[in-house]
Amino acid sequence: MDLSYLEGKAPREIAESLKKRGIASFTPPQELALKNGLLEGRNIIVAAPTASGKTLIAEIAAINAILSKGTKAVYVAPMRALVSEKFEEFKKSYPYIKSAISIGDLDSNDPWLAEFELIFMSTEKFDSLIRHGINWLDSIGCIVFDEVHTIGDASRGPTLELLITKLKDTIRAQIIALSATIGNAEEIAKWLSAKLVKSDYRPVPLKKGVVNGKTVVYFSGGKSVKDVLASEEALPELMIVDDTLGMGKQALVFYATKRNAEAGATRISAFVNSRLREEEKKRLADLSENVLNVLQRPTEQCRKLAALVAKGVAFHHAGLLNEQRWLIEDAFKKGLIKVICSTTTLALGVNTPAHTVLVKDTSRYSNGFGSERLGINEVLQLFGRAGRPGYDTEGRALLIAKNNENAKELAERYMEAEPEPIDSGLGMAPVMRMHVLAFIAEDFLNSEEELEAFMLKTFYGYQYGNSRHIREVVREVLQSLEEWDFIEIERGELRATRIGKRVSELYIDPLSARWIIEALGRKQDLLGMLYMLANTLEMRPYVRATEEAESMYVHYRHMNKAIEQDYEESELGYYDPVGAFSTALMLYDWINETKEDELIRKYATTPGALYSKLTIADWISYSASELARLLRTSTREITDVRVRIKYGIKEELLDLVRLQQIGRVRARMLYMNGIKSVAEVKENREKVEKILGKEVAQKVFEQFV
């Protein structure tokens, strides 16, 4: 089907944009979507391999809704990086459409978004906006849900499922749901009242195989074909990297753990470095410098990563800082970095153009369950990173076998496997708390009967239809919310209290809010206040409990009533107060200016995990100050603590960090040289220039104009 199909059916701007990008015809999934009512506003679920053209289906629906119907379109994805990538793609293709991206502050209704036609958001941000009562919900004509299979994810799934249920129940908007790995697409299509577009089409053929020694067995259509790797290398990773670089291509190697990914990158780096051209080495040296200096004071991990990047290899996992991830992904897209050794952080969505994907580890350690095999959907998602249009004419996805028997097992489990069905993660009271409170606070659902009826409309309700279980869960949640004074129940009518509504807007778990409120009612020292922040559900997983934390916790708990709380296992499942206390100690060390490297070693964490914890602690401290304000409790101490967490500083530097360009390192430099306040900065320009350098000092003094 060529673009002429759109004539008279869709705005001419769509065909014009496609032609400019060199697209002359539609792929089979795109053709199926068009024939199944895409332009007529039908709900569509697309289950098709990576790179089969799913995003273009969403694009046509969204732009059609904007230009033909005069409505808004919203693009929702589970990861911020994916949201950002899609925003840039659409903005480039349709520069005249007013596009916006919103993935940040969860305590705002972002009124400025009302002026935009095409809005890109994370799942949580969209959910948060609805809680804040946005007034443009009814003007949405199309909603795209990318990576819809994350409904089955234990952490992200419930929010996505309830968001979809709420939207399809309250507004008349076309829903486009996209996924590459979904085994029960028919079931989800029926739940969404959607037409199913299911296809195995892939524009770049993918060869899937198992490596056993130097032999690769490729599988397709029930047949197998053997090939032999010509490399002289002994290690399977190096053989495959050698073979890939020999074709002038790039590789992604997936590992089960951060440590394995870093070790793999180290093994591969010397080999890749020997294959680089001098011009590439110069560009990589510049990139390495940027990766190294993301922080004012580089950590050991920063130094390790930068050294590998200089050799054309990088590791990629949740322990990286966000800016380092962006630098690495961009350099890989440009062909500068040849191999990335990654955990599953690169599995979802973001376009990383590798010819070869090697899944090195098919088992991983699961805390409390020992070793477990990767699920079929997860492996298929990793395979989907291989062979992207515009980069390759074919892709290659490989597993490594330990022996002949293992090769047979891997082939049977993964090579010809169909995606597994996904199941709803709803049905448990802890998962429901936050959302039930939101429904009541929004005046969306105001009785137990309405809540039960709504839950039956969810995917969970569609799959199981167990109204008795739903009723029990709803009652359990309502009982807790009423006991905590977040809702009132009068003659069967549910109303959120003033504080309950604020808890919902703050986007924190009601149980966390309950603990914070209890702690705010007690006299606390600094460590007790940090424990209040750390001992929340949002701060999980906690850092490793150190020996110091274990010994201090017993003593401190008896000395300080601020951390004595009673917890029921039913509320929490497994509860780890020492882990929370250890996390509080890490925050305490941070605001006492302990260096990042020392914190990382002491608490067995990573730069990325450390800064992620600090970001969450910032949000929890903000939430605590908001709750304190409602409770008419002083907010000064918690506000000071929030600033100290943001900058990692002792109390004496609070005044200096009010200036832009002044963080923990520069503030300490100024203080140690006798400049201890903003007023003293203003009076000592020459001295400040000597301490900070003229360029930075210039930016500092511009703030006094």
* pTM, two decimal places: 0.92
Tokens encoding 88: 């840039």
Indicate the range of 456-460, 519-523, 601-605 predicted with least confidence: 519-523
- Among 358, 388, 415, residue at a domain's last position: 415
| Distance separating the N- and C-terminal Cα atoms of the chain | 62
Distinct helix (H) and strand (E) counts, the chain: 31, 19
- Alpha carbons 261 and 209: distance in angstroms, whole number: 21
| 447 in the same domain as 536 | no
Residues 409-418 have a mean pLDDT of: 90
pLDDT more than 90, % of the chain? 79
User: Within this chain, do residues 637 and 610 fall inside the same structural domain, yes or no?
Assistant: yes
Boundary of a domain, candidates 629, 648, 667: 648
**Interior angle at CA 555, CA 551 and CA 557, nearest 5:** 115
Using CA atoms, how far residue 191 sits from 127, 185, 418, in Å, is 20, 10, 21
- pLDDT score, position 154: 84
In this prediction, residues 369-377 reach a mean pLDDT of 81
- Is 584 domain-assigned? yes
Residue with tokens 């440590």: 259
420 in any annotated domain: no
Q: Is residue 423 part of a domain?
A: no
pLDDT of residue 553: 87
Q: Are residues 29 and 72 in the same domain?
A: yes
User: Which pLDDT score is estimated for 104?
Assistant: 81
Give dist(CA 543, CA 140) in Å, integer.
Answer: 42
Number of domains in the chain: 5
Query: Tell me, what's the pLDDT at 559?
Result: 60
- Rounded to whole angstroms, the Cα distance separating 131 from 133 reads 5
We report the CATH number of the domain holding residue 319 as 3.40.50.300
Q: Are residues 102 and 34 in the same domain?
A: yes
Longest dimension (CA), the chain: 79
Same domain, 540 and 626: yes
Q: Tell me: do 640 and 680 sit in the same domain.
A: no
Q: What pLDDT is recorded for position 296?
A: 85
As a whole number, mean pLDDT of residues 23-38 equals 96
Residue 375 in any domain: the answer is yes
Q: What is the CATH number of the domain that holds 691?
A: 1.10.150.20
Contact 205, 221 (CB under 8 A): no
Q: Taking the CA of residue 53 as centre, how many other CA atoms within 13 Å lie in the half-sphere pointing to its CB?
A: 22
- Of 510, 518, 495, the residue nearest 443 (C-alpha): 495
Residues 624 and 691 in one domain: no
* 261 part of a folded domain: yes
What is the domain range of residue 623? Answer: 508-648
In a domain, 343, yes or no: yes
What three-state secondary structure class fits 532? Answer: helix
pLDDT in tens, 275-296: 999 999 999 999 999 999 999 8
503 is a domain residue: no
* Residue range 533-570, pLDDT digits in tens: 999 999 999 998 888 888 888 877 766 655 555 555 54
For residues 595 and 468, state if they share a domain.
no
Tens-digit pLDDT profile for residues 483-516:
999 999 999 999 999 999 999 999 999 999 999 9
526: nearest Cα among 578, 582, 591: 591
Same domain, 673 and 634: no
CA distance 282 to 336: 11
Are 26 and 163 part of one and the same domain?
Answer: yes
Burial string for 685-696 (b: 16+ CB within 10 Å, else e) reads: eebbbebbeeee
* pLDDT in the model for residue 558: 64
Residues linked to residue 2 through DSSP beta bridges, in sequence order: 25
Q: Per mean pLDDT, which range of 195-199, 342-346, 633-637 is the poorest?
A: 342-346
CATH code for position 590: 1.10.3380.30
pLDDT number for residue 327: 96
| Predicted pLDDT of residue 155 | 85
Which amino acid is it at 552?
Answer: M
**Residues 6+ positions from 373 with CB-CB distance below 8 Å:** 362, 363, 413
Q: What pLDDT is stored for residue 505 in this prediction?
A: 96
244/354 same-domain check: yes
User: Does residue 467 sit in the same domain as residue 588?
Assistant: no
- 501, part of any domain: no
User: What's the pLDDT score for residue 705?
Assistant: 73
Please tell me the predicted confidence (pLDDT) of residue 570. 47
Q: Model confidence at 158, in pLDDT bands (50, 70, 90)? A: very high
Q: What is the pLDDT of residue 568?
A: 53
What percentage of the chain reaches a pLDDT higher than 70?
Answer: 96
Whole-number pLDDT of residue 107: 86
Task: Provide the b/e sequence for 614-649 (b: ≥16 CB within 10 Å).
Answer: bebbebbbbbbbbbbeeeeeebeebbbbbbbbbbbb
Domain termination residue (choose one: 154, 175, 198)? 198
Please say whether the beta carbons of 511 and 571 come within 8 A.
Answer: yes
Q: Is the pLDDT of residue 117 over 60?
A: yes
Average pLDDT for 434-446:
96
Q: Tens digits of per-residue pLDDT, 43-60? A: 999 999 888 899 999 999
